[in-house]
Chains A and B, each alone.
Chain A
C-alpha cells in the first residue's frame, strides 16, 4: 500500500497535526514504508481467529454508580494554558 500526498494530507488533517505542504512528500514516503512493513500481516491465516480485546481474560471490576470525587475545580484548571472564571478558555468556536 503506497500513501500518496493527498492521503498524507488527509491523515494529517484527521490527526489534527499541521504539516506544511513541502513536508508532505517525505511524510507520505515514510508512512508508505511503515505500511509496507505491516503488509507482512497478510501472510498470516487468521481464519476463525477473534481479534484480541484484552490480553488477560478478566471481567472489568464494577462498583456502585456514585460520585467518588469532585469539588476540585482549581486543581482541574491549574495546568490550563488559558482558564477564566472557572472555565477552560478556547478561541471562539461558533461564528
Chain B
C-alpha cells in the first residue's frame, strides 16, 4: 500500500471512506492510528472507557466487508460514543457515579445502526453528568479538556458533549455521537472548532439513550466537516418502533443535498439574538456569516422572534421537571450504585442515601428544582406557564417560516471557550447563559447546526448556528456547507498534549 496517510486519524470521514474503498487504507490500520492517538491524548480526558478489543474486532469485520464490496459509507470508520448511549456490555454511566458498574444488556438504536453500518467503536466519551452542564465540569470522570489552548490555562470543551468535541477536535476519532437537550451538541462543537448538528425532534431514535428531558433530548453527530455530519446523520436517523416519538417519515440523502446552491433561499437574521454585552467579535462574525450567505445568492431578511428572551427561563423549568421524573428511576434497586446502609435503615433511607451519594451537585439541584416546580401548588405557576411560553416560542418560529424564511443565522455561543474552573464560584444561572442561543431550538423541536466560522482575537474558534425548518436537515446541511466553504475555516489546535 503506497497511499497510506501518515496520520490516518487526522482524515475526515469522507476521506477515510474513499481511502478504505480504494484499498489505500485498512480499517485495522485506521483504527490503530486512532487507538494510538487516544492513548497519547489521556491528558484531554475525552475517552473515559476505552474499548480497543471491540474496536479491532469491528475493524477486522469491516475490512472483510470492504473486501467483499458494496460496504456502507461508515464501514471501518472509527467513532467515539458519548457515555449517555447504552452500549451492550460496555460501561454506560452518563458520567454519573449512580451508574457506576452499569453494563447495559442492550444496545441503543443509534449505536446499533452505526455498528450495522460498519462503524468501529473506540470507546465511551466524557460528558457532563446526565448531560446537565455546559462545561463538562459536572462529570464523575473529571473535566474533559479542550485541545485548543492559548496560554497556561486549560479550557473547557463545552458541554454536555465535551468529550465528543475534544476527541473530534484532537483527531482521536473521526466522528462522535452527541446529544443535545439545550445546546449540548452545538455549544461544544463551537468551543472546539468542529461541526455538530441537532436534528429535528423525532428524527433520531432516543431508545437506549439515558434520558434527561425527554421532550427536548435529541442525538446527533459531531464531526470535522458538514459532509461528515451528513454521512453520520444518514446512518443515525430513521424511524424506530422502540421510540414512540420517533417520526415515521422518509430520511432523505443528506450528502447528496450538499450542492452548494442556496440561490434564492431566504436567511432570517433575528434581532432578538443581538444580546446586550455580546462581544463585538461575535457580532462581527455573525455579520460576516450573513454576508457569505448573501454572496452565495441567498436573500437576507431581518426577522423577529419576540419570545426569545423567555426561552432560557422556560427551559430551566421544563428540563428540570422532566429530569426529576426521568431520574426517579435511580433508586439503588435495579442497577447502578446502592449506598451502604446503617443498622435499621429502611427503604426510604436507601433511596435518600443512594441518590445523595450517586448524584453530583448540579444533578441534585436540577432534580430538586424539577421536584419543586411539579409539586402541588406550583405546578400551574411554573410548569404549566413554562409550557405555554414554550408554545409561544415555537409559534415565533412557525410565523417566520410561514413568511418564507428557509433558515435562520445566529451566533452559536455568547463567548469562546472559557477556562476550566473559572465559573466554579458563579451562580448556577451564569452557567445557564451559555445556552442562550441554542435552547430556543430544543423548545421548538427544530434542527440546527453549529459550524466553525473563524477565530477570535485570542485565537480560539467561534461558531455560527443555522436553524432550519422542521425535517429540513438536508437543506440545513447544504446551507452550512456553503458557510463552511466560504469561511474557509481550517484552523486546528496545535498539539500540546
Residues of A within 8 A of B (CB): 3, 7-8, 11-12, 14-19, 27, 30-31, 33-35, 37-44, 46, 49-56, 58, 60-61, 63, 72, 75-76, 78-82, 88, 90-93
Contacts and interface: CB of A to CB of B under 8 A. Distances in A.
B105 interface: yes
17 contacts: A15-B364, A16-B331, A16-B355, A19-B364, A27-B365, A30-B365, A34-B316, A38-B313, A38-B317, A40-B310, A41-B386, A46-B388, A53-B387, A56-B201, A80-B334, A81-B333, A91-B347
Interface string B359-394: 100001101110111010000001011111111101
Which of B324, B331, B352 is packed against the most chain A CB atoms within 10 Å? B352
B contact face: mostly helix, strand, loop, or mixed: helix
Interface stretch (B167-175, B225-233, B336-344): B336-344
A52 B334 contact: no
A53 to B, nearest CB: 8
A50 B385 CA distance: 9
A30 B426 CA distance: 11
Contacts of B314: 41
A44 B316 contact: no
Interface string B198-216: 0011100000000000010
Contacts of A79: 101-105, 334-336
B452 interface: no
Nearest to B353: A18
A contact face: mostly helix, strand, loop, or mixed: loop
Contacts of B371: 11, 14-15
B363 to A, nearest CB: 9
B293 to A, nearest CB: 27
Interface residues of B, number: 73
A17 B367 contact: yes
A70 B317 CA distance: 37
Given A38-B317, A91-B350, A27 B368 contact: yes
Contacts of B335: 79-81
A11 B316 contact: no
A82 B338 CA distance: 9
B428 A46 contact: no
A40 B348 contact: no
A37 B429 contact: yes
